[in-house]
C-alpha cells in the first residue's frame, strides 16, 4: 500500500506547500516579535517555525530531486527544471542555516536587542524572496510545462455548475 494518493505523480507536490506556509508564518511571527523584542515566547515561536519550515524545505527538496530523476523531459523543460532546482537549493540551505542561527539567537545568545531582532526579520524577508522565486519556478513547471499534471482531453463536455437551468455549457 502506497502512502501517495493515486492522483499524485510523487510525494513532492504534497510536501512543497508546508515550507511555504511555515516560513511565511515564521516571518510574520518574527515581525510581531520585532515590536516586542523582550517577549522571548514570540521569538522562540518564530524560531521553531523556522526550524519546521527548514525541515519541510529539506523534505520537499529531496523529494523534488527524486521526482526530477524519474522524469524524461525535453530540453526546454529540462532548463526549467534546472532553474527550479537551483532556486530550491538556495532556498533550502538558506533556511537551514538561518534556522540554525535562530536557534543560537534564541537559546544560546538570548539576545533581545531590537537591532538584532529587526536584522533577523530583514534577513528572513530576503529568504522569503528566494523562496518566492523557487515557488514561481516550480509553478511554471506545473502550469507552463505541465509536469506532474495529467493531460486534459480536448473533446467532451465542458463542466457546468451543477443545478443550473442551462444544459448547454457556457463558452
Contacts of residue 107, Cβ cutoff 8 Å, sequence gap at least 6: 47
In the predicted structure, residue 28 carries a pLDDT above the cut 90: yes
Q: List Cβ<8 Å contacts ≥24 apart for 140-149.
A: 140/80, 140/84, 141/77, 141/80, 141/81, 141/84, 142/13, 144/80, 145/73, 145/76, 145/77, 145/80, 147/71, 147/73, 147/77, 147/81, 148/9, 148/10, 148/12, 148/13, 148/67
pLDDT tens string 114-151: 788 889 999 999 999 999 999 999 999 999 988 887 66
In this prediction, residue 76 carries a pLDDT of 87
Whether this model's pTM surpasses 0.75: yes
In the predicted structure, residue 167 carries a pLDDT above the cut 70: no
3-state secondary structure of 39: coil
pLDDT tens string 46-102: 999 999 999 999 999 999 999 888 888 888 889 999 999 999 999 999 999 999 999
Q: Give me the residue spans of the domains in the chain.
A: 12-143
In which band, very low, low, confident or very high, does the pLDDT at 39 lie, cut at 50, 70 and 90? confident
Amino acid at each position: 500500500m502506497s502512502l501517495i494518493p493515486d492522483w499524485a505523480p510523487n510525494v513532492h507536490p504534497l510536501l512543497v506547500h508546508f515550507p511555504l506556509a511555515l516560513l511565511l508564518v515564521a516571518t510574520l511571527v518574527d515581525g510581531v516579535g520585532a515590536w516586542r523584542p523582550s517577549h522571548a515566547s514570540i521569538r522562540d515561536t518564530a524560531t521553531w517555525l523556522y526550524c519546521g519550515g527548514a525541515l519541510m524545505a529539506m523534505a520537499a527538496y529531496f523529494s523534488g530531486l527524486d521526482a526530477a530523476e524519474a522524469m524524461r523531459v525535453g530540453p526546454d523543460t529540462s532548463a526549467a527544471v534546472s532553474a527550479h532546482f537551483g532556486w530550491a537549493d538556495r532556498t533550502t540551505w538558506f533556511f537551514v542555516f538561518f534556522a540554525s542561527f535562530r536557534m543560537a539567537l534564541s537559546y544560546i545568545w538570548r539576545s533581545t536587542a531590537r537591532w538584532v531582532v529587526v536584522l533577523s526579520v530583514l534577513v528572513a524577508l530576503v529568504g522569503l524572496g528566494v523562496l518566492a522565486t523557487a515557488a514561481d519556478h516550480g509553478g511554471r513547471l506545473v502550469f507552463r510545462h505541465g509536469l506532474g499534471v495529467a493531460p486534459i482531453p480536448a473533446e467532451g463536455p465542458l463542466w457546468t455548475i451543477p443545478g443550473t437551468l442551462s444544459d448547454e455549457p457556457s463558452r
